[in-house]
Amino acid sequence: MTTKAKKNVREVSLDLLVAIEKNQSYSNLLLNHAINAQQLPQKDIGLLTELVYGTLQRKMALDFYLQPFLKNSKRIENWVLQLLRLTLYQMVYLDKIPARAAIHEAVEIAKKRGHKGIAGLVNGVLRTIQREGLPSFATVTDSVERLAIETSHPEWLVKRWVKAFGYEKTKQMCEVNLTAPLQTARVNSTKVSRDECVRILEEEGFQIEKSPIIPEAIRSLKGNLAASQAFRDGLLTIQDESSMLVAYALGVREDESILDACAAPGGKSTHIAEKLNGSGEVTSIDLHEHKVKLIHENAGRLGLNNIQPLVLDSRKLGEHFIEESFDRVLLDAPCSGLGVMRRKPDIKYRKKEQDIEKLSRVQQDLLHAVSPLVKKDGLLVYSTCTVDKQENEMTIQSFLEHHQEFVMDDSLKKRMPEAIKPLLTGFDLQILPQDFGSDGFYIAALRKMKAKS
């Protein structure tokens, strides 16, 4: 019986790129599955991640480079186009891989997966590019279109951002979105201090720096923290620094009752529970049972007993809880995810402008549904991992127009970490990816007015 030959890292990368485009699958989920299924050596995991994410991140620029060298691009099979993108990405953006080695590998894959004719096409296109050089982005005269192609962001999105933030901020955001994010984690303060956690991780062989933004956060400069013994022992949670600001915005006090209305997988719920220091209760809601299971698992790993996970539809919470049941309510709303493109590069190609309109309506419905559950003088915090004004400022503006019982909470700044305060002027905060290298994120704090005496 013959055993199937193991695929090398470039073949696995090609399979992933084909699957992501064909099935509209999420790159991060497929990548994690492939790493586990292929049992790749540690040195190859980094290269696989670089090749898949890098090729996805730069897809529009790579197609711009390829276009003059492909006579009938529409007739080329998708896997061949993906192979050309993957190889050109190595030739243009990766210094450590010689062009001749990348081309040789591509031709071998083409022979194995296709036939001589395809191998000849791949070899011909790549050798011609190597010989003649790349076309220049300068040939695109419109500045917005050029920025879109050069940074591989859909033109509708770049136009939208330029209108909202101006050209320079948009350019910075597009460029940052092409860079790999650092892995960050939140230290579980109920179990260990940050200094002690850093020491434990360094003994495990990790290279760690303390976050200059969040007092309980750390950044991994080397090593996957989710694979650490410290993670298994519940000493930390993988979470982006922007996302950690939500628990600060809520300003929880011991013994309070908190609702997290869209809670899975539980990163924010567990942070809130840690800040309650074993007191009070966090009611963590999600619509899907398998996602609520993740909240259970996270709470168990971290040793937090003050979280109550429930499978419910947050639009119908009024049927399960009496009005004014909670001191503070967090609505981390479903959104376009345009702030997390560095982690999920395929998002930018999948989203359409009309999706934002639909999401905005869902966000409005959710705010309307959870608002009666906030006690008088209590806080409602709204957050998203997007940078779109329609999902953020405009959604909150519309909510306030229809809910006179809520006002902007301008004391938000007092509750935030010192490093964040300069970004804040009033009741809300828009973090862009370039601000401190974290995810794009929005937070607004609203207070329910006391009853008039």
Q: Return the active site residues.
A: 385
Token pair 């320079």 is at which residue?
Answer: 168
Q: Please enumerate, as own/partner, the contacts of 14-20 that have beta carbons within 8 Å and a separation of 24 or more.
A: 14/79, 14/82, 14/83, 14/86, 14/109, 14/113, 16/48, 16/52, 17/52, 17/55, 17/56, 17/82, 17/85, 17/86, 18/78, 18/79, 18/82, 20/52, 20/56, 20/346
Considering just the CA atoms, what is the radius of gyration of the chain in Å? 24
CB 186 within 8 A of CB 214: yes
Cis upstream peptide for 372 (omega within 30°): no
CB 428 within 8 A of CB 396: yes
Token pair 């560095």 is at which residue?
Answer: 342
- Which stretches of 155-284 are DSSP H helices? 155-165, 167-176, 194-203, 229-232, 241-250, 267-276
DSSP annotation of 328: E
Q: Give the N- to C-terminal CA distance of the chain in Å, as an integer.
A: 85
- Please choose, from the candidates 63, 24, 32, 26, the residue with its C-alpha nearest in 3D space to the C-alpha of residue 49: 32
